[in-house]
């Protein structure tokens, strides 16, 4: 029996501005924590499930969930190592080269990363002789970074830590925050911490999934309890201005299905013209600042569910064996929301040795090495980590050459 936990008030308040005028976009019911992978001994035990509802704030434009699962439950022990993704390593490697040159960084500089994971990004700076510091709340992942000689604090980042590091003389030229801003339950604490941590001319480089891509490309599976907020430039700019920071530049990038790269600095810095341009685009008629933009999202999700399940049931009825690839958080949302379980899939393959041997939350599928695709030869594989489709399809060329197919579920169902 699943153990349901109530973690939200009946009248939610915006986690950025405190306003109560929130409008419901999508109710996903109660789901298990997306990264709460299980050991075999856990399978007979009650599994916690938490409500998951997506809202829009009419006052500051922030899209957010109302559930507040304690961060310690979500992040104190983590099973994702960024170094397992060749795409991610190439992505940050290019960015580091660019920033080192543009910002003229050297041995007297300091680069800090919030949620630094296994040191996958900071190692590129260290190789250039630039001092680095990581902040990573998951002790098991921080240990991987330390093994590479990257100093890492095992702490959650907040305003108090920002003040403490500033008092220690450890203000940064660059603060990286890749795929962490959405994971912060109180974004005000985060922004205040940044303000203390940045040198007067320093910048924070924040990469966060773009809410426009979430809605336009039907990326509903990026909604899970770790992602408290889903940002537009408008929402970030409103938040920064409240705390005497500002977005000084913005870029739209392809990573993770479509993200924003935000450059945030002190309010005295002059923003690039493309900041005003994207703000204007977002606020245009029917744009991200109005609830009308989000109204049809739920109906589109349920239509996709019906289409995907129809395909999977048809393949099973014809005697085919099916598996999945990527024991990811987004995969957990998709499978548990759509009711995809062991009656449809035999197993999930994943490249991460931290996940192999465990079981997926909610539907309890075994997680195996990608070698299982060649050994067990499923007829088709549901690609749960569709955001890395090109990389995974290339890695699994031998499986595909033997007749294996991948099913890509988002934004539309496709077989490749």
344 close to 312: Cβ distance less than 8 angstroms: yes
> Rounded to 5 degrees, what angle do the CA atoms 299, 305, 310 make?
130
> Rounded to 5 degrees, what angle do the CA atoms 281, 282, 285 make?
80
pLDDT in tens, 61-88: 999 999 888 777 776 555 556 666 787 7
Looking at residue 85, what is its pLDDT? Answer: 76
In Å, how far are 246, 302, 303 from 308, measured between CA atoms? 42, 10, 9
Using a 10 angstrom Cβ sphere, with 0-12 exposed, 13-18 middle and 19 or more buried, the burial of residue 416 is exposed
Q: What is the mean pLDDT of the chain?
A: 92
Looking at residue 10, what is its pLDDT? Answer: 47
pLDDT in tens, 234-256: 999 999 999 999 999 999 998 87
Q: What is the DSSP letter of 199?
A: E
Looking at residue 7, what is its pLDDT? Answer: 46
In Å, how far are 153, 192, 263, 330 from 163, measured between CA atoms? 15, 9, 21, 34
Reported pTM: 0.88
Looking at residue 8, what is its pLDDT? Answer: 45
Looking at residue 327, what is its pLDDT? Answer: 97
Looking at residue 83, what is its pLDDT? Answer: 67
Residue ranges of domains in the chain, CATH in brackets: 3-61 (no CATH), 82-294 (3.40.50.150), 308-415 (3.40.50.720)
pLDDT in tens, 144-201: 999 999 999 999 999 999 999 999 999 999 999 998 999 999 999 999 999 999 999 9
Looking at residue 79, what is its pLDDT? Answer: 58
Residues of the chain with pLDDT below 70 are 1-11, 75-84
């Amino acid at each position: 029996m699943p153990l349901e936990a109530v973690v939200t008030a009946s009248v939610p308040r915006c986690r950025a501005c405190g306003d109560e005028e929130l409008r419901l976009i999508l109710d996903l019911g109660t789901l298990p924590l997306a990264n709460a992978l299980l050991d075999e001994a856990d399978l007979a035990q009650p599994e916690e499930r938490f409500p998951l509802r997506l809202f829009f704030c009419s006052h500051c434009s922030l899209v957010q969930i109302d559930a507040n699962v304690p961060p310690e439950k979500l992040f104190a022990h983590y099973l994702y190592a960024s170094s397992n993704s060749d795409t991610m390593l190439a992505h940050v490697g290019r960015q580091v080269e660019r920033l080192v040159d543009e910002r003229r960084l050297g041995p007297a500089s300091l680069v800090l990363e919030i949620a630094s994971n296994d040191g996958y990004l900071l190692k590129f700076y260290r190789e250039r002789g630039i001092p680095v510091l990581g902040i990573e709340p998951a002790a098991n992942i921080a240990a991987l970074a330390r093994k590479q000689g990257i100093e890492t604090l095992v702490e959650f980042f907040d305003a108090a830590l920002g003040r403490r590091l500033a008092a220690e003389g450890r203000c940064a030229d660059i603060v990286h925050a890749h795929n962490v801003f959405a994971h912060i339950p109180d974004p005000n604490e985060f922004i205040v911490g940044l303000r203390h941590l940045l040198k007067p001319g320093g910048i924070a480089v924040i990469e966060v999934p773009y809410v426009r891509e979430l809605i336009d490309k039907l990326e509903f599976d990026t909604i899970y309890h770790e992602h408290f907020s889903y940002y537009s430039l408008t929402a970030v700019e409103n938040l920064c201005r409240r705390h005497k920071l500002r977005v000084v530049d913005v870029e739209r990038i392809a990573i993770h299905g479509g993200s924003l790269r935000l450059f945030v600095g002190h309010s005295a810095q002059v923003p690039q013209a493309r900041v005003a341009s994207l703000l204007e685009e977002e606020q245009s008629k029917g744009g991200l600042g109005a609830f009308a933009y989000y109204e049809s999202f739920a109906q589109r999700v349920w239509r996709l569910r019906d289409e995907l399940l129809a395909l999977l049931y048809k393949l099973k009825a014809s005697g085919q064996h099916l598996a999945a690839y990527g024991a990811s958080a987004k995969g957990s949302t998709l499978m548990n929301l759509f009711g995809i379980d062991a009656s449809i899939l035999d197993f999930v393959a994943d490249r991460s040795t931290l996940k192999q041997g465990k079981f997926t939350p909610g539907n309890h599928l075994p997680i195996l090495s990608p070698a299982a695709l060649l050994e067990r030869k499923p007829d088709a594989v549901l690609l749960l980590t569709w955001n890395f489709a090109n990389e995974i399809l290339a890695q699994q060329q031998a499986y595909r050459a033997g007749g294996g197919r991948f099913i890509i579920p988002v934004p539309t169902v496709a077989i490749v």
